[in-house]
Copies of this chain bind each other. A is one copy, B any other.
Amino acid sequence: MISEKMTELGLKSSVIRELFEYGNKRKAEIGEENVFDFSLGNPSVPAPQKVNQIMLKLLTEKDPVTLHGYTSAAGAMSVRKAMADSINKSFKVNATPDLIYMTCGAAASLTITLNALLNTGDEVIVLAPYFPEYKVFIEKAGGIVRVVKCRDGDFQIDFNALEKAINKNTKAIIVNSPNNPSGVVLSEETIITLSKLLNKKSQELNTDIYIISDEPYRELVYCDIKVPYIPEYYDNAVVCYSFSKSLSLPGERIGYIFVSPKVKEAKILFAAVCGAGRALGYVCAPSLLQYTVAELVGETADIQVYKHNRDLLVKALTNYGYTVAKPDGAFYLFVKSPERDATSFSERAKKYELLLVPSDSFGYEGYVRLSYCVSTKMIEKSLPQFKKLMDEYR
């Protein structure tokens, strides 16, 4: 009688969540320090001290009626201006405040964008491995999910497969680089080829295909690597940004949508974004957080810890004989399962108290995801276990 789909979504735990809960049970049994939980992507590094300093300043100095009051639905103009300025400082895209819409984090950025773009039956392409909530968000917005698998090994886009998947119903493709779960960054060459293909197909099919760039991990890259900014390469682009990971504020729910000024009829799409935000119940993004991030653009939490964790893991695991995807960004490592079935490998890993998420949950077989946003001490202690686990396969 009530919505069956919503009930099912509420009742069905994700594999990640199940593993995390198994971990909690195990920790109670054998002690927290003896369980090596790589399941969740929850930042372990605290927010930079500046976050709290700015909040304290706002709370003591700003008029409370303004500070805690409604902003316009798209966000306070001063905040939207700060976002546009920060984008223009890094990229050549002519961002303007009137195309910035402040949101309650990345998930809200995505649901609002999808509801603005999609009509019932429109198709959205996701590149596997992919964040499993994409499917939930697309289907709730009336869309149909088309999965295109990335190339095994380097996890760049398989353009033959992509071209076959595009048809006249294709409305958008979600790009997530640095990627959850693989940690891979899509190369400039990949983005250029993608843009060419989408332009060609748009013309052939006489349609508009949008790239939705989901960028919660943009700042989390560890070498001198460049993460191409999609609106510099492709016109019909919408950026979904979040401060959750870069500033370690995942519970506070703050991010934004940026509609590229080069989108065909960008102002109309922006109006649809406003309409979708309204219809989904997002009145405005939390005001204190809006004013806070406006003063923090360009800052990040101390990501050196993540870099150190990554280097430690990559070096040791490679040494033990594991194969890992090129670990350029985010805080995930995608490790090839030594046996074909990643779920069976993940089960075996439990013997050594290692909690690794099998990649099937991300629409890809044969890998496990390790979240290395954990304490370095835990990683150090876990390494001999990884060695013993691999020894089983020798």
Contact = CB atoms under 8 A, between A and B. Distances in A.
A107 B281 contact: yes
A22 to B, nearest CB: 16
A17 B25 CA distance: 53
Interface in A78-134: 104-105, 107-112, 115-119, 133
B65 A279 contact: no
A238 to B, nearest CB: 11
B275 A9 contact: yes
A252 B2 contact: no
The residue among A6, A51, A67, A284 with the most chain B CB atoms within 10 A of its own CB is A6
Contacts of A153: none
Interface stretch (A178-186, A193-201, A285-293, A327-335): A285-293
Nearest to A269: B2
A252 B116 contact: no
A344 interface: no
Nearest to A133: B278
A140 interface: yes
Interface in A121-160: 133, 136-137, 139-140
Contacts of A161: none
A227 interface: no
A278 B9 contact: yes
Interface in A1-30: 1-11
Interface stretch (A41-49, A348-356, A360-368, A380-388): A41-49
Interface string A25-68: 00000000000000000111111000110011001100111011
The residue among A117, A133, A250, A274 with the most chain B CB atoms within 10 A of its own CB is A250
Given A6-B272, A273-B10, A47 B70 contact: no
9 contacts: A6-B273, A7-B271, A9-B278, A43-B65, A67-B251, A68-B248, A139-B279, A140-B279, A253-B283
Given A55-B59, A68-B248, 7 more contacts: A1-B207, A6-B116, A7-B268, A8-B275, A47-B68, A51-B68, A70-B250
List the 7 closest A-B pairs by CB distance, nearest first: A251-B287, A9-B275, A111-B281, A10-B275, A10-B271, A10-B274, A6-B275
